[in-house]
């Protein structure tokens, strides 16, 4: 049976890992943009503006997913007790 303390620790770990992935994505996108863009641009024939918009949109959706699936349930578990 799943107890509340295990679920809290699990969701906290998932939140930390997901924000770490989001931070890594942001760092790579920011500091290695000139290296990553030609790599993807070759395959997908994207303009620089399209490439940037897709990544910003992806980061936004990923962050919303973290909020919905990790932080909201974590806060709900903390308010249960």
pLDDT tens digits for 35-61? Answer: 999 988 888 899 999 999 999 999 999
pLDDT of 80 reads 86
pLDDT of 77 reads 94
What are the C-alpha distances in Å from 65 to residues 3, 18, 28, 29, 60?
Answer: 24, 10, 20, 19, 9
pLDDT of 1 reads 61
Q: Is the pLDDT of residue 66 over 90?
A: yes
């Amino acid at each position: 049976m799943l107890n509340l303390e295990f679920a809290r620790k699990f969701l906290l770990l998932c939140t930390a890992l997901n924000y770490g992935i989001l931070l890594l994505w942001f760092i790579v996108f920011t500091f290695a943009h000139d290296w990553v863009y030609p790599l993807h641009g070759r395959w997908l024939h994207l303009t620089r503006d399209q490439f940037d918009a897709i990544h910003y949109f992806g980061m936004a959706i990923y962050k919303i997913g973290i909020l919905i699936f990790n932080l909201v349930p974590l806060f709900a578990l903390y308010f249960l007790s």
